[in-house]
Structure 1
């Protein structure tokens, strides 16, 4: 059976917003220490809300990790379209798909998808709306390409997601402020979606991250604040994290994350 190529380059994290940080975490965490992996849980929820014979669209698919981790579970009668706005990302995504017969890759603007009206049974956006200044045009497009009665599955974080990283950096990085709370998040997403979709409901990913190595925590902090963390403060934080791991057996990171499911009119 065909498998996607993994083009994640070791799960590197790019700090362009809270969602990229959490994506990097999910790509790396160990299911033996952190519970059911994010991509498995998200795919489980998509399966529940999608018919056995279906056309499925992921908008802003990036490296295609959702499908990399779950391709062997893909129902035989699903046809999957993956889109992204960045042409370089689309090229990498096409390389990752590498001839998978059920998968089509297309480049397209979030507010003007190159896809027909009422073409899809399910539309998925994994931590995408959080990075948009205005999610409304994208939601209009999702509504347009969904068939009546089709499902939208939107993953998002809440304001306390990975809050322990904020606490470690507070007072140690000049001018540090907490990780940005986006315009669309778990706290307000239901109200935003209710304007366009029916039956909006929220499902939460309950597991936190339990990190066993202080170097992993330091890598995440570097992804968040880059070179603004001094050598002295980095050593201080590493010692603090190592002490917590010695005491508790792990360093806990809160996951305030989940998804919204709604139905097209």
Structure 2
């Protein structure tokens, strides 16, 4: 039998006020495990796990409404484990940042004590270092979503070669090439293939998120072939005719102005250089959409159908305005599993309205998915890449 705590006992053990505990209950952030017959709240040890998540996310700068959605399913062991692993990475990142703050303060203090002229531009660096809440919260959100997606594909895909190994092999890299990857994310395409790199490559990994690129640096490690740059792909800050190969792995459909992005890509490519861009079709993982809409037709996992913006069905036509010799190559794979947690985790990571709708129906939804996948669940993959040339 679980041990039950009163609101006062629970608050005291957690070093928060009773008022905070009651407020989190009123806001549907942390509901008690049970109530007595008289209506008094009772909490268990398992409730501390959710409280820890709430306090960490609040520390990282998330609003309470965001936290309410992000802690859905926190009672599931695997979802909690995934969250703790991401929290550890972010705390380690915060430690590095705070050490940089301490170093900057020491440097400025030493200058002042010595009566020397202060380089006030360093104060701008200090301001930047001490304004990290928003970037950390964004990093947490991105890392959580990426983790859920990677786990589903990594652990339950039928093709054991893996997407990143397969795509790397298709690129056919040659010694001395200059390569740009747009929207490189956590650098998985490279960190999973470091032992296969030809000699003398220059590889620039770019992303619009500084936090995500920090993850890529950590994964790839100290490697002189790699450079990192934060910029929007709609304005690439490199000279014309610079790169032998440009890669856009599942990122073009996120660009606000795809034609402008493609013109930027074409501009930085050398004559005869290649552009490899991966995407998927409307058939890709359609079983996930069918699953949630059968539960509630109002659930929309994405406000925009990304494959309509740039997908396998229309990508060649979109590319034809700027590139030649376009060919499409598909990755043969599917997902099969019989447990609900990876599917639920994936669903919660989507950018639609699902979390808001499921807030008050999570247990019902979990039971529904449990039943649907118990006898085996097949998920279609229809993914590949286009390769084309600058004429």
TM > 0.5 between the two? yes
Question: 1:49-88 maps to which residues of 2 (within 5 A)?
Answer: 50-88=173-211
TM-score (structure 2 length as normaliser): 0.58
Distance 2:317 2:245 in 1: 20
| 2:125 corresponding residue in structure 1 | none
Distance 1:206 1:100 in 2: 32
Distance 2:213 2:365 in 1: 39
How far 1:213 sits from its partner (Å)?
A: 2.9
2:383 is the alignment partner of 1:257 = yes
The superposition leaves residues 95-134 of structure 1 with CA deviations (integer Å, 9 ceiling, x where unpaired) of 4343211111111221222222111111001100112232
Question: 1:210-221 maps to which residues of 2 (within 5 A)?
Answer: 210-221=336-347
The superposition leaves residues 222-260 of structure 1 with CA deviations (integer Å, 9 ceiling, x where unpaired) of 223335232213211211211x22xxxxx2211111000
Distance 1:106 1:178 in 2: 31
Classify the secondary structure of the residue corresponding to 1:236: helix
| 1:228 corresponding residue in structure 2 | 357
| 2:236 corresponding residue in structure 1 | 113
Count of matched residue positions in the alignment of Structure 1 and Structure 2: 244
Distance 2:238 2:150 in 1: 27
Contact 1:110 1:137 in 2 (8 A): no
Classify the secondary structure of the residue corresponding to 2:381: coil
How far 1:35 sits from its partner (Å)?
A: 3.0
Which stretch shifts more, 139-148 or 78-87? 78-87
| 1:14 corresponding residue in structure 2 | 145
Which stretch shifts more, 175-184 or 121-130? 175-184
How far 1:46 sits from its partner (Å)?
A: 1.1
How far 1:81 sits from its partner (Å)?
A: 0.8
Question: 1:32-181 maps to which residues of 2 (within 5 A)?
Answer: 33-47=158-172, 50-177=173-300, 179=302, 180-181=304-305
Distance 2:145 2:368 in 1: 24
Distance 2:239 2:222 in 1: 23
CA 1:112–1:65: 2 relative to 1, 3 Å: same
How far 1:221 sits from its partner (Å)?
A: 2.3
Distance 2:348 2:162 in 1: 23
How far 1:176 sits from its partner (Å)?
A: 2.2
List alignment gaps of at least 5 residues for structure 2.
Answer: 1-84, 90-141
The structure where helix makes up a greater share of residues is 2
CA RMSD of superposed structures (Å) = 2.5
Contact 1:13 1:24 in 2 (8 A): no
Distance 2:148 2:279 in 1: 12
| 1:3 corresponding residue in structure 2 | none
The structure where strand makes up a greater share of residues is 1
* Greater relative contact order (Cα < 8 A, sep 6+): 1
Larger Rg computed on CA atoms: 2
| 1:241 corresponding residue in structure 2 | 373
List alignment gaps of at least 5 residues for structure 1.
Answer: 1-7, 246-250
The superposition leaves residues 77-107 of structure 1 with CA deviations (integer Å, 9 ceiling, x where unpaired) of 3221111122222333334343211111111
Distance 1:178 1:69 in 2: 29
